[in-house]
Amino acid sequence: TPMDVERAAGLPGVRLESGAPLLLGGLADRQTILVAPLGADAISSEVAVTRQLATSARERGLTVMVADLAAAAPHAAGEVLRTVRDLEAQHAVVIVPLARLDDASSAALLDGTRPALFVARSGRLRRAELMGAVATLRRLGIPCAGVVLHEPGSG
């Protein structure tokens, strides 16, 4: 539950409700958000959360771009960074779904200006995996916007 996430990791936890806007506190009007899946079967939840983030930003009148970098080769981390920087110059909000937190493309994007948002399927996130991911971000000085728990079929 979101309360369990908050108690365990000290991060905001949010459950994604069907059709509801995904409201996250502390994000600026010009922001890049790295969306990182955690736990079993989290990729489909990452897609739903990315879609809701984009919709919520557009409803606030912001220009939004989802950077689909899944096709980038692991050795192209520098190209991924250049692409995201170009998008940041053109759009108020850039949402970057990551394949994993620990691959080369993701690592190239991790810096203190781009918060990470973890996404997990509700009921499928192990505490140890959450705590390990949070510890990684803290060690690197990367802000974490929180954890979204997604119910399959709800958005």
Query: What confidence tens digit (pLDDT) does each residue in 16-26 have?
Result: 866 666 666 65
Q: How far are the Cα atoms of 12, 68, 155 from residue 9, in angstroms, in the given order?
A: 9, 28, 25
| Residue type for position 36 | A
Confidence (pTM): 0.87
Tokens 């250049």, located at residue:
82
What is the maximal distance between C-alpha atoms in the chain?
39
Q: What is the pLDDT of residues 95-153, one digit of tens each?
A: 999 988 888 888 889 988 999 999 998 887 888 999 999 999 999 999 998 999 988 66
Scanning 19-76, the segments in alpha helix (DSSP H) are 42-59
Which of 29-38, 75-84, 132-141 is least confident? 75-84
